[in-house]
């Protein structure tokens, strides 16, 4: 990778926890990092031996002429920086959600096409050992005809305690865009990217605006400024006649600290990712098969390894344009449906 200069825009959580450790584990040094706030950028530069620190991403693109750009910024900034990086000739790994509208996502992929460069949404749950095992089971046809699925990402109390996740002006949405997008992407990939046609959704703000909840979370956000959803549920119809229920919640009165699961039901079998299991009928006997000996995998490292291999032309991009576009279509249709209080068609 020494010939391919990697730079990172945004020196917050995603850069610190996902991108830098991921590149580092793949022996891919990062040449520069940029943030409006110099302290976190300089701290990460010191930790990872990054030679250059910038405050202005345009200046960084101009001076560094990178081959790969990681976009680790608040959601509403993804489009502008990703398009500029692609136009400057870089391949782009952009944090999730890729964009805040279907039009923005189209614009980003169009820019990639024009530039002849790769653009991938950082959907690391694709690389989970459990999901990979279930993907193989599904692709073998063991489930028969798939008719229903449920993608669930719910936390007992896990409202992000940093950044601008709570503000619509910076993030566009809340729990659906933060954790819902991960589990939705995983489910759509497992299902083989069916075409969504209609979505009906409800969003709720039940916890984030309450001072006594914010105080449990060390007053990490201003409850008066919390203006995104902390719960969302969406019912998605596919053109095949199958459906999917997406549930995303930063906080809920549930038994578990965290629920993360995709359930898929087919005519011949059902499957879950957590636990990774296949439920079917063998020789007239109801059988549950749990896959207990999966090799653990660091999803961030695997994501970077896969992206860098695609950049080198050694493999296809793991997260494909049509998959990310369908995820984006569902997300934006869900917000539109919640706002209008009715089922809506997805936007092309």
Ligand X SMILES: NC(=O)c1ccc[n+]([C@@H]2O[C@H](COP(=O)([O-])OP(=O)(O)OC[C@H]3O[C@@H](n4cnc5c(N)ncnc54)[C@H](O)[C@@H]3O)[C@@H](O)[C@H]2O)c1
- Contact positions toward ligand X, by CB under 6 A? 9-14, 18, 34-37, 40, 57, 72-75, 77, 95-96, 122, 124, 162-164, 178
**Given the complex with ligand X, which of 143 and 178 has the nearer CB atom?**
178
| 322: β partners | none
Residue 21 C-beta: closest distance to ligand X, Å: 11
Nearer of residues 174 and 194 to ligand X, judged by Cβ: 174
CB 18 to ligand X: min, Å: 5
CB of 11 to ligand X, least distance (A): 5
Query: C-beta of 336: minimal distance to ligand X in Å?
Result: 20
Q: Which of 76, 73, 247, 70 is nearest to 167 (CA)?
A: 76
Residue (34 or 146) nearer to ligand X, CB? 34
Rounded CA separation 268/262 (Å): 17
Q: CA 102 → CA 21, 256, 321, distances in Å?
A: 31, 34, 12
Measured distance CA(164)–CA(223) in Å, rounded: 12
Nearer to ligand X, 127 or 207 (CB): 127
Compute the distance between CA of residue 61 and CA of residue 54 in angstroms, rounded to an integer.
10
Taking Cα atoms as reference points, which of 39, 73, 35 lies closest to residue 165? 73
Please give the DSSP secondary-structure letter assigned to residue 263: E
Between 10 and 232, CB nearer to ligand X = 10
Least Å from the CB of residue 181 to ligand X: 8
Please state the closest distance from residue 214 (CB atom) to ligand X, in A.
17
Count of C-beta atoms within a 10 Å radius of residue 164: 18
Minimum CB distance to ligand X smaller for 169 or for 267: 169
d(CA 179, CA 230): 10
Residue count (the chain)? 348
190 Cα distance to chain centroid? 15
For the record, the structure tokens of 29 come out as 């040094």
Q: Taking the complex as a whole, how short is the minimal distance between the CB of residue 347 and ligand X, in angstroms?
A: 21
Nearer Cβ to ligand X (26/75): 75
Contact partners, residue 35, CB within 8 Å, separation at least 6? 9, 10, 11, 12, 41, 55
Nearest residue relative to ligand X (C-beta): 12
């Amino acid at each position: 990778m020494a010939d391919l200069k990697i730079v990172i825009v945004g020196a917050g959580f995603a850069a610190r926890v996902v991108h830098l450790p991921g590149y580092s584990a793949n022996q891919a040094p990062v040449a520069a990092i940029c943030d409006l706030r110099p302290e976190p950028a300089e701290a990460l530069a010191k930790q990872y031996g990054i030679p250059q620190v910038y405050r202005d991403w345009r200046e960084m693109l101009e001076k560094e002429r990178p081959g790969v750009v990681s976009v680790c910024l608040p959601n509403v900034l993804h489009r502008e920086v990703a398009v500029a990086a692609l136009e400057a000739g870089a391949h782009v790994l952009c944090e999730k959600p890729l964009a805040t509208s279907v039009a923005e996502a189209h614009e980003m992929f169009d820019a990639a096409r024009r530039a002849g460069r790769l653009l991938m949404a950082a959907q690391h749950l694709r690389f989970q050992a459990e999901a990979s095992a279930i993907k193989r089971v599904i692709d073998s046809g063991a489930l028969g005809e798939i008719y229903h699925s449920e993608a669930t990402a719910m936390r007992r109390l896990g409202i992000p305690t940093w950044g601008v996740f709570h503000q619509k002006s910076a993030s566009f949405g809340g729990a659906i865009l933060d954790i819902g997008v991960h589990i939705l992407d995983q489910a759509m990939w497992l299902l083989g990217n069916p075409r969504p046609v209609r979505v009906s959704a409800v969003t709720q703000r039940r916890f984030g605006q309450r001072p006594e909840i914010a105080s449990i979370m060390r007053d990490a956000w201003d409850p008066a400024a919390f203006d995104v959803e902390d719960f969302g549920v969406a019912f998605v119809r596919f053109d095949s006649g199958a459906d999917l229920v997406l549930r995303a919640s930063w906080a809920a009165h549930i038994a578990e600290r965290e629920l993360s699961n995709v359930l898929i039901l087919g005519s011949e079998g059902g499957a879950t990712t957590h636990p990774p299991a296949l439920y079917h009928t063998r020789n007239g006997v109801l059988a549950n098969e749990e896959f207990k000996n999966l090799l653990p995998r660091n999803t961030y490292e695997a994501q970077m390894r896969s992206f860098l291999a695609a950049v080198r032309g050694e493999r296809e991009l793991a997260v494909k344009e049509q998959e990310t576009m369908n995820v984006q279509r569902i997300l934006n249709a869900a917000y539109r449906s919640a706002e209008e209080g009715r089922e809506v068609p997805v936007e092309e």
